[in-house]
Structure 1
Amino acid sequence: MSDKRKASVISTTPKSLGDFPVLGWYTVFTLILSESIMLPQMANISFMVFGGYSPTVTSCGDVTFRNNTAPDHCAAVAAVVAQTNCIPELTAQFESVAMEFGRYCDGMIDVKTSISIQMFGVLLGAVTFGQLSDHFGRRKILFICSIGMFAFDLAASYASSLNAFTALMLGAMFFTGGNSTVSHVFLMEMVPKKDRVWTTMIVSYSPNYIIMSIIAYFMPNWRSLLTFITLTNLLTLLLLWAAYESPRYFVQKGALAEAKRTYEKIERLNGSASVERQLILDQLIEKEVVALEERRSGKRHYIYHLFYTWDMVTYTAAFSYSLFVTSMLVYALMFNMEKLSGSLYWNNVILGFIRYSFNLVASVVDLKLSIGRKFVHKFAVLWVAGPLLGVFVIKFWDISLPMLSNVLTLIGTAMCSQLFVVVLVANSELFPTPIRNTSSSFQQIFTRLGSVMSPHFFYFTNFWTGAPYLFMVVLMLLNGGFFWWAIPETKGTPMQDHMPPKHQRIWRHRNLETGDVGATNLVKNGTSNDGVV
């Protein structure tokens, strides 16, 4: 590292260990590791975009169906099957699970249910592994999740029925949920404060949509595609073996000597090690020693600590609603790609390209301009709602503009990536270290609830032509209003390492705050001394 760079590094003395990391070679390694985690994670979550793609019936016996997009197409197929007992001939752009196991027209509801069950597995994994990583470490849990994804993905690629496939993918998605929750917190804790947003946007799902679409194009069969996804976990395991545990985790656990050693190793790899930086690190560790002695009580933190103060209650509600709505809309559109005209592969490539373009622009804006998280969230909400309102108009008035409808849908869906990023970054900046990962895990519950409901969204809301898109617009506008009212600006704020002081807590019963065994058992049983949790 140059003398100029070192001077810029030490020009601003960090106030806490959260401010200590700088951009360097180990940061580059962390980003490569994050991408290796992200690809199989994203591939699993979006696999059913291809694996669940709906086939069309081209013929049945001597009857040929020419207009496969007609509203009465499925009714005509059902009538012919009932009369002749013929076996329909299916075709699709991708040899999907639905196609192999003979699900088409009304039978696609079985595939949508399979997707919902798989997404429920992601929810369970997010809840389970989020708290486990607070107790056992980010790196160890990521290692376990990658092994679980490898094993269940491989088994699912040999499934002989839709039910067997669903059960095995439920296991794979359970570990994917844990991987998704912990990997984001791991990245946030390893990169410098000023680089949180652009690193999150560069290493994201967006470029991996493009990669996934290209792979699916050359492997247009669900079994071969799932086998490839399985193998991508091997690189992840290799890089995790070479990585260090998050020093912020060691700080949280009170293992300050280990945290110091890890910071020193990272400093040497970054090329930022110097006498001045070592003195700063020693001073920050001493501050943590004093803080640790002050809070020595053996207290452990649980989900109910997310409601420790009224501000934290409001933050939790706003983040949860925002992620629920955004997730439901994104996956509803993704898992119903057959509703778009044109190529399945090109539509996904275009979606990934638009998303990544938005990410790059947002990254530059975040670095160069003093635009906060709230403005970006509001802008993204309006960008999503506008195109979807246009799609509603086209559908409701039956205007024959399929290409425009496609473009508007893809543009609106793509901007949702910014909503995920803003919420996840703001969440990391608002909640203190002892419950940061628990908070991320809790928010993922609502993200995954949205994805669980998403495959059936068009079935639930299709009261009249275009109605699903109008529902999307209304839900998104409510999302923007709630977030703007509830969340303070967090850009540039230091990450908090400790819980708020006791006088700010909501709990009137002291045992709930101090976390003794009796109170913990009462909370786990769903009651407290006065019958209310």
Structure 2
Amino acid sequence: MYTFESILDEIGGFGKFQLITELWIFSSFTLCSWSMMHMAFAGLVPDWYCVSSESEAIDEGLVLQLAKNASFHEENFQRCEAANGTACTDLRFLGPVMTVTEEWALVCNRNWIRSALISIQMGGILMGCFISGQLSDQFGRRRVLNGFTLSHAIVNIAAALTNSWQLFGVTRFLIGAALGGIITTAFPYGMEFLPLKWRPFTATVPFWGCGVAIFTGVAYFFPNWRHLHLALGILNIPCLIGYWQTPESIRWLAAKGKKQEAEAVLKKMADTNGRPLPPHAAELLDTSIKHQLIPKAEDDKIISYADLFKSWYLVKCTVVTCFFWWTMSLVVYGISFGVTSLAGNIYVNMLAMAVIEFPGLPLTFWLMNKFGRRKTALLYFALATISSLTSLCLILVGAADTKGGATRWLALLIRMLLSYAWSVIQTWGAELYPTVTRNISYGAVNTSARIGGILAPFIINLESGAVLTYCIITALTFLMTIAPFTLPETKGKVLRDHLTSNDETGEDHSVKRVPDMVKPIDAELSL
């Protein structure tokens, strides 16, 4: 039988068209990491001191030298009261870095504002994830992705021009909404152009980590939060060229019955890859559109989150994948917030967190194609469980303290393993759902992940609550080790396009209605 995957292999597999398309799609995704990490820089608290009648003429260079003296720091430095005991009304910030903390003096009784700004951004991401899934399944991946990219550019430029922390908070919420929209749309969109063995590509190429690494270098040389927002807004504009360079998802077009547009995309793919378009491509599109197991009256129905619970199979996929994303976000972000001793310099910390995951991603790609999604996820979850249990035992028997090197490195190992597992779950989750609900399902799991990220600082505490923290991590990672057995393996399986199945396997049986299509697809393609 002919499938989209077999056609993609015939017209070049992962060829020039796929390479260009993936780079365009994920260019805006890469810049999202800048926005996500921006508050880590913008919320930084520079050295500061309170100006009083006795100290207002103090030389800043001298203050910086004195700040290294513990007694000066304790008695006179970064105090919220003036020398006469009254609340300080004039703060002086030191050093070349310009952050929002310095811009609006967000210290002392205004210290809570910095945390609030981060929560506001996370709330925006939550909203963007929630609405973008339904929008992209209804109106197409290309329009929604580029619409959020345009808004990402506009609100970043607007953020650089704000004159109060309240207005800045509004722009951070809108930036978060744009982030959620881009993150939710880009991954399924990019994957739908790829043949079988290359489907893990979008989850295992470190687009995000590369973005964070580049942002770290830019922030080092341009240490002004306004300049970073302007740069980010301007850099998003070239990404919009992808609207004309990158076509709509062929699978979405076929699922919506747009045969001519889908055939034009296939022709463009074949021409770009230097391959002829096989004559049975049109027959495949006819079959995909004609032989749907849903009533024709539902072709143009608005897909909603309720459709993720339309059958027991979909309920199971939704609950389990949301649990994966919630737990991984909780643990990964919680450990990221807690592990601060990699280096004393913020730029070194950010860079280390970005690049430390790079080495294992090619291995993850190979494991997924060799052994499948389920076994690869099981491996990473099991190793994370063992690492967490080891840390717990070391602390309980007194072999290591909560801040010791062994537990610190084991915490970092857990974070790495779950980051690799996240790449597996991204690919696996997208393959479990049909095209008509693929983006809305990605919106659902991203929403659950944002909730986990918001709760992370309150549940994962490596400093003062290490025993309870490792008990929680061990229990959650153990549950994730069991959960993969509830889901079907998708390695070597063609992607479904319609809500056609109520069975346990989730297979699309519509192809069985075409007896004259006898060309089989190799179900065990691997590298």
> Which residue number corresponds to residue 280 of structure 1?
280
Q: Secondary structure at the match of 2:356?
A: helix
Residue 500 of structure 1 aligns with an amino acid whose one-letter code is T
What's the offset of the Cα at 1:337?
6.7
Residue 24 of structure 2 aligns with an amino acid whose one-letter code is L
What's the offset of the Cα at 1:59?
7.3
What's the offset of the Cα at 1:145?
0.6
**Pairing 1:480–2:467 present:** no
**Kept in 1: contact 2:309–2:315 (CA 8 A):** yes
> Which residue number corresponds to residue 524 of structure 2?
none
The 2-side partners of 1:309 and 1:73 are apart by 65
The 1-side partners of 2:167 and 2:452 are apart by 24
**Kept in 2: contact 1:330–1:416 (CA 8 A):** yes
**Pairing 1:295–2:298 present:** no
Deviations 1:273-312 (A, max 9, x none): 2xxx512313312322431597311352321111122222
> Which residue number corresponds to residue 518 of structure 1?
none
Higher helix share: 1
Identity %: 22
1:402–1:110 distance in 2 versus 1, CA, 3 Å? farther
Residue 375 of structure 2 aligns with an amino acid whose one-letter code is F
The 2-side partners of 1:94 and 1:476 are apart by 40
Which stretch shows the higher mean deviation, 132-141 or 213-222?
A: 213-222
> Which residue number corresponds to residue 322 of structure 2?
320
**Kept in 1: contact 2:374–2:485 (CA 8 A):** no
1:335–1:152 distance in 2 versus 1, CA, 3 Å? farther
The 2-side partners of 1:421 and 1:446 are apart by 16
> Which residue number corresponds to residue 26 of structure 1?
17
Please, which of 426, 441, 444 is the counterpart of residue 443 of structure 2?
A: 441
Q: How is 1:159-238 mapped onto 2 (pairs within 5 angstroms)?
A: 159-238=162-241
Please, which of 100, 103, 123 is the counterpart of residue 97 of structure 1?
A: 100
Deviations 1:31-82 (A, max 9, x none): 211331222222112222222234455777669665789x999999457778
**Pairing 1:374–2:361 present:** no
Deviations 1:430-453 (A, max 9, x none): 111121111111111101212233
What's the offset of the Cα at 1:377?
1.8
Q: How is 1:446-525 mapped onto 2 (pairs within 5 angstroms)?
A: 446-454=448-456, 456-457=458-459, 464-466=464-466, 469-470=469-470, 473-474=473-474, 476-501=476-501
Q: Secondary structure at the match of 2:128?
A: helix
**Pairing 1:239–2:242 present:** yes
Residue 42 of structure 2 aligns with an amino acid whose one-letter code is G
**Kept in 1: contact 2:48–2:78 (CA 8 A):** no
1:161–1:408 distance in 2 versus 1, CA, 3 Å? farther
The 1-side partners of 2:133 and 2:150 are apart by 17
Which stretch shows the higher mean deviation, 383-392 or 418-427?
A: 383-392
The 2-side partners of 1:228 and 1:218 are apart by 12
1:114–1:475 distance in 2 versus 1, CA, 3 Å? farther
Deviations 1:365-417 (A, max 9, x none): 334xx222122223323444555667778889684966666644444333332
Please, which of 121, 132, 140 is the counterpart of residue 137 of structure 1?
A: 140
1:72–1:434 distance in 2 versus 1, CA, 3 Å? farther
TM-score norm. by structure 1 comes to 0.80
**Kept in 2: contact 1:325–1:479 (CA 8 A):** no
What's the offset of the Cα at 1:24?
0.9
What's the offset of the Cα at 1:97?
2.3
1:378–1:501 distance in 2 versus 1, CA, 3 Å? closer
Residue 379 of structure 2 aligns with an amino acid whose one-letter code is F
Deviations 1:303-350 (A, max 9, x none): 111112222212111111111121233333445676764222122222
> Which residue number corresponds to residue 330 of structure 1?
332
Q: Secondary structure at the match of 1:342?
A: coil
**Kept in 2: contact 1:254–1:292 (CA 8 A):** no
Residue 50 of structure 1 aligns with an amino acid whose one-letter code is F
Please, which of 150, 165, 172 is the counterpart of residue 147 of structure 1?
A: 150
TM-score norm. by structure 2 comes to 0.81
Please, which of 401, 412, 415 is the counterpart of residue 413 of structure 1?
A: 415
The 2-side partners of 1:317 and 1:350 are apart by 33
> Which residue number corresponds to residue 30 of structure 2?
39
The 2-side partners of 1:391 and 1:166 are apart by 39
Residue 20 of structure 1 aligns with an amino acid whose one-letter code is I
RMSD: 3.6
Which stretch shows the higher mean deviation, 352-361 or 246-255?
A: 352-361
What's the offset of the Cα at 1:237?
0.4
The 2-side partners of 1:79 and 1:32 are apart by 53
What's the offset of the Cα at 1:226?
1.8
Residue 234 of structure 1 aligns with an amino acid whose one-letter code is I
Residue 452 of structure 1 aligns with an amino acid whose one-letter code is I
> Which residue number corresponds to residue 249 of structure 1?
252
The 1-side partners of 2:14 and 2:406 are apart by 43
Q: Which runs of 5+ in 2 are unaligned?
A: 56-62, 506-527
Residue 167 of structure 1 aligns with an amino acid whose one-letter code is V
**Kept in 1: contact 2:132–2:440 (CA 8 A):** no
**Pairing 1:16–2:3 present:** yes
Q: Secondary structure at the match of 2:248?
A: coil
**Kept in 2: contact 1:125–1:174 (CA 8 A):** yes
Q: Secondary structure at the match of 1:317?
A: helix
Which stretch shows the higher mean deviation, 182-191 or 379-388?
A: 379-388
Residue 348 of structure 1 aligns with an amino acid whose one-letter code is M
The 1-side partners of 2:82 and 2:200 are apart by 56
Q: Secondary structure at the match of 2:296?
A: coil
